Structure 1
Amino acid sequence: MASDRRPSSSETRSLLEEAPPSYHSTDDVDVTSSPTEDTPPLNKFSRADINWILAGLWSSVLLGAFDGTVVATLLTPIGSHFDSSNQASYIGTSYLLSVCCFTPLYGRLADILGRKGAMLLALSLFGSGTIFCGLATSMRALIVARAVAGMGGGGSVYAFIASIAVSDLIPLKQRGLYQGMANILYGLGAGLGGPLGGWVNDMFGWLGPLLIFSFTVVATKVNIKLPFEVQNQSIADKLHRIDIIGSLTLVGTVGCLLLGFSLKTSEELPWSHPLISGLFFASVISCVLFIWVEKYWAPYPVMPLRLMTQRTPLAVSISNLLTSMSAFSMIYNIPLYFSAVRLDSAAKSGLHLLPHSVAISTGSVLAGWIMRRTGKLYTLTLVSSLLTIIASLLVTFWDENSSALHLWLDLIPQGFGMASFITSTLIAMIAGVYKEDMAVATGITYLFRTTGQVLGVSLSGAILQGVLLQKLRERIQGPGSSEASEDRWYSIRTTSVIPTLEPFLQRAAMDSYADALRAVFIWQVAINFLGFLACLPIQENVLP
C-alpha cells in the first residue's frame, strides 16, 4: 500500500529556510523562504532564541494537557458544588466544541497575523476564559467561560500553532523528534492533572503562572517573519484573505453536529426529538453551503477541498478522527471504571492514568527518533495503530478478578500507540502537501482530531448511559425493588452515591457499570480497527 515517492528537496527542509541548518556546527540559524542564495534571510535565530521560542510554545502544551485532565477529574465535584450534576458534562463538551470549531481558523490566521499574532490571540482567549472560570458563580457561567477558553485552546494549548512554528524552524526529518519532545510535556501535564485533579480547588492558581510565562515568551521571542509579499499587504488585503463565510459555515457544520450528539447523551433526548433532529439538519445544510463556498466562492479557503481529495491527507484525517474517538473515550471512561466499579477515590482513579501519560511521552519521542533514524513512517504508523487495538482488547477483559498489575499496565499500549500515531501521521500530512498548504493542512489534521475527541466522549457516553439503565432495570428486581423507582435508578447513575447505598443496590450498581463500560470498551476496539484500516492508504514519503 505504501509507495516510495521521494519528496522534493523543499519538502525536506523547514518551511521558511533555504538550506537545512547545521544544529551541531553553527551558533546561528538562518531561516528564509527565498529560493535564491543572494536574497537575505527573513529570520536569523541564535540557538538560545530557538530554545526560548520552543519553551514558550511548548509551555502551552503542558498547560493544555494539565487543564484537560484536571477538568475531566473534577466534573463530579464541580457539579455537586453548583447543585447541577446533570450539567457537569457540559463543562468538558463546551470546551471541546469551541476547540473543534475554532482550530481550523487558526491555520489561516497564522498565515495572516503571523505566528506570534495568532498565538497571542489564542493565549489571550484561553487566559480570559480561565479567569472567568475562577469568577463563575453558576454552572451556566462556568460552561460559557469554558467555551471562551476553548476558542483560544484551539490554537494554543492544543499545540496547533506551535506545530506550525516548529515546522518553520526545524527540517522535516527532525520534526517528529521535536513533536515527541512536545508530547513529553503533554504527558507530564496529563499525568499531573489526573492525580492532582482530586484535590485542586483553584484552577487559575495553578495555570496562571504558566500562562503568563508562555504569553511573555511568545510576545518577546516568537518573531518569525512571513514572506515579504504577505508582510507588506495592507490590512484590507489581509482581511480579504480571511474566509469569513467558509469559517462560519464550517463552525455551523461541526458545531451543530457535535452539539446534537452531546445533547443526545447528556440530556438523554430521543433521536427523533425536534432539537436533536433540527441540529443534525442544520449541520447538513451548513455542510452543503461550506462545500459550495470553498469550491466556488472563497479565494483563500479555510479548508481547500483539493487537499481532501488527495490520498494521504484524506487517510490521515479519517484515521485521526477514529483513533481520537477511541483515545478520548478511554481517557474519560477509565477513571469512571475505577470510581464506579472499584469504588476508588477521585484522586486514586485519576492516578491510574499516570502510566498512560508516561507512555504518551515515551511513544512520541521514540516515534520521532525512529523517523529521524530511518527516514520512514509507514510501518511505524501501522504498528502504532495496532497497539491501540491491543490496549482496547485488554481492558475489555477487566473484571473483579483482574490483578492490580493488569489494571495499571494495560493502558500503556494505548498511550504509547496513540502518541506515536499522531506524531507519525502529522509528519505524513506535512510531507504530503506543498509548503504553502502546510499551515492549513495542519489545521485540517487538528480539526479531525478534536472532532474525534468530542465524538468519542459523546458517543461513548450515549452507549454507557443506554446500557447502564438497561442493566439497572434488569438487576434491581425482587425484594426491595419497590424502593428502586425510576428516580432511584437515575440517582444511582451518580457515582458519588454508590458507596452510600445498601449492599444489594451497591452491588447492582457496580455490576451494571461494569457491563456498561465493557460495552464501551468493545466499541473502542471496533473504532480502533476502523482507524487501522483508514491509515493503510497513507503514502510513504521518505524523509532523507
Structure 2
Amino acid sequence: MSPSLRDTDETRPLLGNDRTDAASYSSSATQRSHSSEPPAPDHVSRTDLAWVLAGLWSAVFLGALDGTIVATLLSPIGSYFNESNRSSYIGTSYLLSVCCFTPLYGRLSDILGRRGAMLLALSFFGSGTLLCGLAPSMDALIAARALAGMGGGGVMTVSSVAVTDLIPLRQRGLYQGMTNILFGLGAGLGGPLGGWMNDALGWRSAFLLQMPILVFSFILVALKVSIKLPEEVESQPLHAKLRRIDGFGSFTLVGTVGCLLLGLSLKSTEELPWTHPVVWGLLLASVVFCVLFIWVETCYAPYPVMPMRLIKQRTPLFVSLSNFFGSVAAFSMIYNVPLYFSAVRLNSSTGAGLHLLPHSVAISTGSVFAGWVMRRTGRLYNLTLFSCLLTVLAASLVACWNESSSALHLWLDVVPQGFGMASVITTTLIAMIASVTREDIAVATGITYLFRTTGQVIGVSLSGALLQTVLTAKLRERIHGPDAISIIEDIRHSTTIIPTLSPELRKAAVDSYADALHVVFICQAAINFMCFLCCLPIQENPLPGTHEEQEEAYRKRRDTISRTDSESS
C-alpha cells in the first residue's frame, strides 16, 4: 500500500501514520508566509527556458556521446600508441574521476551558483577533451580523461539541480524523461559516430570535433542560466564563498570512492587476486578514508559536502540505496547481455550489440512514461514499486535463457529491465527532491548521482570478477591436456577465438560461458530485488504543480525541522 501523502519531514518516526490530504495541501499554498527564507527561483519566459534547457541538455547529450565514442576508440588508440594493454585505463580513469567528483558539485552549486558550477564543470570537461585530442602519449591521454571526468561528473548533477529550480516537481519527472532521451540518443550515436570519425579523420578528431558543442553549451549557460541563491550567499565576495567549500570532506570522500573503485577495477581488469597487496591495500585505505569522512562530515565541517543528517533520514537513505543497487544490476546487464550473444550464441559483435537496441528504446520510453504518470497523478510510490518489479522480472527471464530459448525471448526479455530502471531512476530522484528543503536540493541531488555512478562502476567490476571466477573454474573442469592452460587463457580473454576451436573445445567454451553468465544473471535478479526492498520505505510527499505550492511545501518542511530540532534540544 502506498504511504499517505505527508507534509512533514523525514525526521518523523519510521512507522508514523499521520495523514495529510492533497487538497488541503493545495489550498494551503494561498496562505504563504513571507518570512526570511531563500528567494524563489525566477519565473523565466518560455523562450528563456528553452534556451536554458538547450544549454544544459546539450552538455548532457555531449557527455553521453563522449562516453560511447571513447569506448569505440579504445582499440585504435591502443594500437596508435602501441600500448593496447593499457587502453582500458582510458575508460577507467574517466569513470573513477566522475564517481569521485560528482557529489562535490552539489555543494559547489550552492556556493558558486548553478551557472558558476556548470561553467566550472564544462571548463574541466572541455579542457580534458581538448587535451585528449592533442595527447602526445598514452599517459597524457589517461591524465586528460581523468581531467575531463572531473567536469563530466558535474554536468549531470548541476543540470539536474538547475532544472529542479525552474520546473515544479509535478512536471519535473517529465523533463527528467526528456533529459534521459537526449542522454540515450547521445549514447546511441557515439558508437557509430566514433567509428566513422576514426576511419575518416583519425581518432583525435573524435575529441576535437566535440569542442563546438562545448562552446555552444558554455555560451548559453553563461548568458541564460541565472538562478538566485540565498541573499547571504549572493552578497558574499568570491573568497568568502570559496571558504565554504568543505576541502577536508571533499578529500576524504574522493579517497573513499577512489580507493574502493580503483581496487575493484584492478581486481577485474588486471585479474589480480583479492589477496594481492595492491587490491586489499586500496580497499583498506577506502575504509580508513570512509571513517575519516564520516567524522569530518559529522563533527568538523561547517558546510559538509554530504550532510549526515540527510543520510540519516528515511527517504534520502533508501533512495540512495535503491539507486546504488539498481545501477549495479542495470550496468551488469548492459555489459553481460552482449557477451552472452558473442560467447554463447556466437553472434558477431554487431549482432550482439543489436540485442541491446530494444533495451535502449525502453530506457527512453520508461523515463518519459514515469514523468507523464507523475504529472497526471502527482504520485510516485506505486509507480516506483511496479517499475522495480519489472526489473526483477526481466533479470529472472534473462537468467532462464538456454539453448532452446526462442528468438522472441532473446530480443524482448531485456525490455522490462530498461523500462523499469529508467522509471525507477526518475521517480526516486523526484522522491529525493520532494523530501528535503530547498537548501538541501543541490546536495541531495549530488548524493543521488554519487550512489548511482558508484553502482555503475561496481556493477561492471564485480560482475566481471564473478564471471571470470566461475568461467575459469568451468573451463578447468572441461578442458584437459598439455595445452589446456594456454587454451583456457585464450578463451577467457577473447570470445572471437571460440568459433575457430575444434567442436569439442568450442562446446566446452560455450557451455562454460553459459554457466558463468547464468550465475551472473541470477545475481542481477537478486540485486534488483534488493533495489525493490529499498524502495518500500520511500515515503510519498506531495508533488506541487506550481512554484507557489512548491515554495509553501519547502516552508512547511523547514518549519517542521525547526520544531523537531527545538523539541530534541
- The TM-score with structure 2 as length reference comes to 0.85
| Correspondence for 1:292 | 295
1:76: Cα distance to partner? 5.2
The answer to whether the 8 A contact 1:42-1:225 is kept is yes
| Correspondence for 1:409 | 412
Within 5 A, what are the aligned runs for 1:164-313? 164-194=161-191, 196=193, 201=198, 202=203, 203-204=206-207, 207-313=210-316
Unaligned runs of at least 5 residues, structure 1: 10-18, 21-32
Q: Does 1:115 align with 2:114?
A: yes
CA distance in 1, matches of 2:42, 2:147: 33
CA distance in 1, matches of 2:238, 2:178: 36
Aligned residue pairs, count: 517
CA spacing shift, 1:88–1:409, aligned 2, 3 Å? farther
Q: Alpha-carbon deviations, 1:425-450, whole Å to 9, x = none?
A: 00000000111011001111111111
Q: Does 1:324 align with 2:323?
A: no
| Correspondence for 1:442 | 445
CA spacing shift, 1:502–1:66, aligned 2, 3 Å? farther
Q: Does 1:460 align with 2:457?
A: no
Q: Which moved more, 1:396-405 or 1:160-169?
A: 396-405
AA in 1 matched with 2:168: P
CA spacing shift, 1:128–1:501, aligned 2, 3 Å? farther
CA distance in 2, matches of 1:470, 1:134: 42
Q: Alpha-carbon deviations, 1:397-439, whole Å to 9, x = none?
A: 2233333322222211111011100100000000001110110
The answer to whether the 8 A contact 1:246-1:293 is kept is yes
1:235: Cα distance to partner? 2.1
CA distance in 2, matches of 1:109, 1:525: 37
Q: Alpha-carbon deviations, 1:461-500, whole Å to 9, x = none?
A: 10111112222222222xxx32333475246522344444
| Correspondence for 1:160 | 157
Q: Does 1:95 align with 2:94?
A: yes
1:330: Cα distance to partner? 1.3
1:86: Cα distance to partner? 4.3
The answer to whether the 8 A contact 1:263-1:276 is kept is yes
Q: Does 1:48 align with 2:64?
A: no
AA in 2 matched with 1:59: S
| Correspondence for 2:389 | 386
CA distance in 1, matches of 2:496, 2:236: 58
AA in 2 matched with 1:383: F
1:140: Cα distance to partner? 3.7
The answer to whether the 8 A contact 1:56-1:217 is kept is yes
| Correspondence for 1:14 | none
CA distance in 1, matches of 2:455, 2:244: 28
Q: Alpha-carbon deviations, 1:192-214, whole Å to 9, x = none?
A: 33555665523326634433322
AA in 1 matched with 2:228: K
1:112: Cα distance to partner? 1.2
Q: Does 1:476 align with 2:473?
A: no
Identity of aligned residues (%): 69
Q: Alpha-carbon deviations, 1:219-277, whole Å to 9, x = none?
A: 22112232322111022320111000000001111111111111111122221221112
Pairwise CA RMSD: 2.6
Q: Which moved more, 1:414-423 or 1:212-221?
A: 212-221
CA distance in 1, matches of 2:34, 2:502: 75
The answer to whether the 8 A contact 1:34-1:41 is kept is no
Q: Secondary structure at the match of 1:482?
A: coil
The answer to whether the 8 A contact 2:130-2:208 is kept is no
| Correspondence for 2:485 | 485
CA spacing shift, 1:68–1:339, aligned 2, 3 Å? farther
| Correspondence for 1:25 | none
The answer to whether the 8 A contact 2:41-2:166 is kept is no
1:186: Cα distance to partner? 1.7
CA distance in 2, matches of 1:506, 1:140: 38
CA spacing shift, 1:415–1:120, aligned 2, 3 Å? same
CA distance in 2, matches of 1:541, 1:197: 44
AA in 2 matched with 1:401: S
| Correspondence for 2:3 | 3
1:55: Cα distance to partner? 1.2
| Correspondence for 1:29 | none
Q: Does 1:353 align with 2:356?
A: yes
1:82: Cα distance to partner? 4.9
| Correspondence for 1:24 | none
CA spacing shift, 1:381–1:40, aligned 2, 3 Å? closer
CA spacing shift, 1:317–1:129, aligned 2, 3 Å? same
Q: Secondary structure at the match of 1:155?
A: helix
CA distance in 2, matches of 1:174, 1:277: 46
CA spacing shift, 1:63–1:523, aligned 2, 3 Å? same
- The TM-score with structure 1 as length reference comes to 0.88
Q: Which moved more, 1:373-382 or 1:125-134?
A: 125-134
CA spacing shift, 1:428–1:496, aligned 2, 3 Å? same
CA distance in 1, matches of 2:224, 2:211: 20
CA distance in 2, matches of 1:160, 1:225: 18
Unaligned runs of at least 5 residues, structure 2: 10-27, 545-569
CA distance in 1, matches of 2:195, 2:338: 11
1:81: Cα distance to partner? 5.4
CA distance in 2, matches of 1:497, 1:513: 13
The answer to whether the 8 A contact 2:171-2:375 is kept is yes
Q: Alpha-carbon deviations, 1:341-387, whole Å to 9, x = none?
A: 33333333333222111111111111011111111111111111111
CA distance in 2, matches of 1:276, 1:399: 35
Q: Does 1:375 align with 2:378?
A: yes
1:215: Cα distance to partner? 2.0
